[in-house]
Amino acid sequence: MESDKRVGNANPPQKPMQAHGVLVLDKPSGPSSTQCLERIKRTLGQRKIGHAGTLDPLAQGVLLVLLGQATKIASYLTEGRKQYQGLLRLGVETDTYDVLGKIVRTSDCSEANTQEIRTAILEWEGLTEQEVPPYSAAKHQGRPLYALSRSGRDVPVKRKSIHIYQAEVLEMDFPLVRFRVECSAGTYIRSLVHSLGKRLRCGAVLEELIRERSHPFVLDQAHGLQAVLDEPEAFAEKVIALGEALPHFPQHVLSPEQARIVRHGGRLSWNFSSSVPYGAEPPVQGTRALFLDERRQPLALVELREADGVLQWTILRGLF
């Protein structure tokens, strides 16, 4: 009688169910943000997936992966401040403004002194706009700039508004300079480095970049990509539930009748309940909040707006 021998794993790990929430990923340097998402989608069966705040292939650190219903809140996570730690190299310029690009010029930077470099980095705090890199996903007439660059076509110079809240030098080991910067969403750190090199007249290129914070989440909360992929049974534990994904939004629990009104697109008065913690005076117009139903499940993102002569909570995004 033949023995019943089976080759390989007869019971491969089961893919987790579709999650609804935020995975704080520690993106590795190398793959693009989209490639990281594709691996999670394919390996862990997360069909509905997106992210808030793209990281370049060179960059690593906090990437907010949005799953299921959380893809609806992308814009409210993307708009937050970002904090980066970077390493730049003086005396080199590339077409992409980072070390992954083609070298277009090298220079002698021996005349740049430490005080001049430090001053130039601190001057980032005075910037209100920057030039968009020619190799970027920003679009011109519907085409990304990197596609125009790779095809050899002229790339229009685009500028965008930015805000640098803080910049500091952490370490200097000439020609390498390590720095930290806190900035508005969408700021190109490699453009900051490129402009620094132009001001110092010797060129500079971004060699390493770590996103330490993407408000309201930090690197200490992040999970490595390989650990996420290798532990499908623990995936759900790593996902921050949708109701906790916007900790900077005040939360209000609605009664069944109030929830019914909101589900039908209606508004609620700013003081619809005694549990709303604003006292006798209404909060300022534009205040945002998260409405939960009686089971404390996310119902809608709302904003306080004037309607019919009074302040009312108006739906920004339904989550039910």
Alpha helices in the chain (DSSP H): 33-44, 74-78, 114-122, 145-150, 189-199, 225-230, 235-238, 256-263
Q: Find out whether 125 and 187 touch, Cβ atoms under 8 Å.
A: no
| DSSP code for 38 | H
Q: Is 293 a catalytic residue?
A: no
Helix (H, G, I), strand (E, B) or coil at 305: strand
223-224 and 21-27 strand pairing: parallel
Interatomic CA distance for residues 39 and 154, integer angstroms = 34
**What is the Rg, in whole angstroms, of the alpha carbon atoms belonging to the chain?**
24
Interatomic CA distance for residues 61 and 48, integer angstroms = 22
Q: Find out whether 131 and 146 touch, Cβ atoms under 8 Å.
A: no
Q: Find out whether 65 and 40 touch, Cβ atoms under 8 Å.
A: yes
Q: What is the 3-state secondary structure (H, E, C) of 268-294?
A: EECCCCCCCCCCCCCCCCCCEEEEECC
Residue 97 half-sphere exposure toward CB, CA atoms < 13 A: 21
Phi then psi for 147, rounded to 5 degrees? -70, -40
Q: Find out whether 235 and 44 touch, Cβ atoms under 8 Å.
A: yes
User: Which listed residue (26, 56, 98, 293) is catalytic?
Assistant: 56
Positions marked catalytic: 56
